[in-house]
Amino acid sequence: NSKVIQTPRYLVKGQGQKAKMRCIPEKGHPVVFWYQQNKNNEFKFLINFQNQEVLQQIDMTEKRFSAECPSNSPCSLEIQSSEAGDSALYLCASSSHRNSDYTFGSGTRLLVI
Amino acid sequence: QQQVRQSPQSLTVWEGETAILNCSYEDSTFNYFPWYQQFPGEGPALLISIRSVSDKKEDGRFTIFFNKREKKLSLHITDSQPGDSATYFCAASEGANTGKLTFGDGTVLTVKP
């Protein structure tokens, strides 16, 4: 049973549609990460936060992807205009410090048709 | 250039045998190395981790051996059980700034009863 809660488990969108997924980090974990895991099991780092502030994000995230971690609300990752290549498992993880063990959620599996 | 490499891609052992999974890395600034276990349809779960100041870390049936000079590490799973059948990922981080992990492509372990 993961202590990081991700919703929804599955998401199906048409190309060009918005896709939004949410993450509740483990209690007491101020650092939150988003990764994309493709069908070949390759992980791609997207963005991470400490409390509400962005620590690092990749270029792809800056264009069609947006993410936030507001105080007292779930974190979210949104793809503004979904593309077929965005089909993947999106994983949220949290940790107590930047360089400590992560806890991953079960992921949101996005299918863009 | 892939920063973290894993071998073999897949491994089959009999129940009770020791499974050895290998990992190597390129970036000499990496100082934190977690191993994750992932079952189909689930997010990765932290199995065991090691920091570069140590050369060995043991937790039950799982042991990491770390060779900083050669930039190599290995995960040994003793007394392998069918329930250990999963994909194992080696990851690495330089940690100090953002905690971002770089993952290998995984080793699929099958334990036959």
pLDDT at A24 over 60: yes
Position A16 confidence tier, pLDDT thresholds 50, 70, 90: very high
- Residue contact A91–B42, C-beta within 8 A: no
Mean pLDDT, all residues of chain A:
92
The CATH class for the domain spanning A5-112 reads mainly beta
Interval A14-36 mean pLDDT: 95
- Residue contact A98–B96, C-beta within 8 A: yes
Q: Where are the domains of chain A?
A: 5-112
Cβ atoms of residues A8 and A89 within 8 Å:
no
- Give the Cα separation of A47 and A67 in Å (integer): 8
Single-letter amino acid, residue B70: E
The CATH number that applies at residue B92 is 2.60.40.10
Residue among B47, B19, B20 nearest B33 (CA): B47
Partners of residue B95 in chain A, C-beta under 8 Å? 98-99
Return the CA Rg of chain A.
13
Please report the pLDDT score of residue A60 as a whole number: 66
First to last CA, chain A: 30
Specify the DSSP element, H or E, that contains A62.
Answer: helix A59-63
Q: Which residues span the domain enclosing B40?
A: 4-112
Would an 8 Å CB–CB cutoff place A42 in contact with chain B? yes
Partners of residue B42 in chain A, C-beta under 8 Å? 106-107
Please report the pLDDT score of residue A51 as a whole number: 86
Please report the pLDDT score of residue B61 as a whole number: 98
- Taking only the tens place, the pLDDT of each residue in B27-66 is 998 999 999 999 998 999 999 999 999 999 999 999 999 9
The separation between CA B23 and the C-alpha centre of its own chain, rounded to angstroms, equals: 7
Please report the pLDDT score of residue B98 as a whole number: 74
- Taking only the tens place, the pLDDT of each residue in A68-84 is 999 889 999 999 999 99
pLDDT at A1 over 60: no
Out of A95, A102, A106, name the one closest to residue B42 (CB). Answer: A106
- Residue contact A107–B43, C-beta within 8 A: yes
Residue among A104, A102, A86, A94 nearest A38 (CA): A86
Please report the pLDDT score of residue A63 as a whole number: 82
Structure tokens at A73: 């609300």
Number of domains into which chain B is organized: 1
How crowded is residue B54: how many other Cβ atoms within 10 Å of its Cβ?
Answer: 11
Please report the pLDDT score of residue A71 as a whole number: 87
Q: Answer with the residue of higher pLDDT: B73 or B98.
A: B73
Position A62 confidence tier, pLDDT thresholds 50, 70, 90: low
Q: Tell me the residue length of chain B.
A: 113
Would an 8 Å CB–CB cutoff place A88 in contact with chain B? no
Please report the pLDDT score of residue B42 as a whole number: 92
Please report the pLDDT score of residue A52 as a whole number: 87
Q: Which of A46-50, A66-70, A78-82, A95-99 has the lowest mean pLDDT?
A: A95-99
DSSP states along chain B: --SEEEE-SEEEEETTSPEEEEEEES-TT--EEEEEEE-TTS--EEEEEEETT-SEEEETTEEEEEETTTTEEEEEE-S--GGG-EEEEEEEB--SSS---EE---EEEEEE-
Q: Which residues of B touch A (CB under 8 A)?
A: 32, 34, 36, 41-46, 49, 87, 89, 91, 93, 95-103, 105-106
Please report the pLDDT score of residue B96 as a whole number: 64
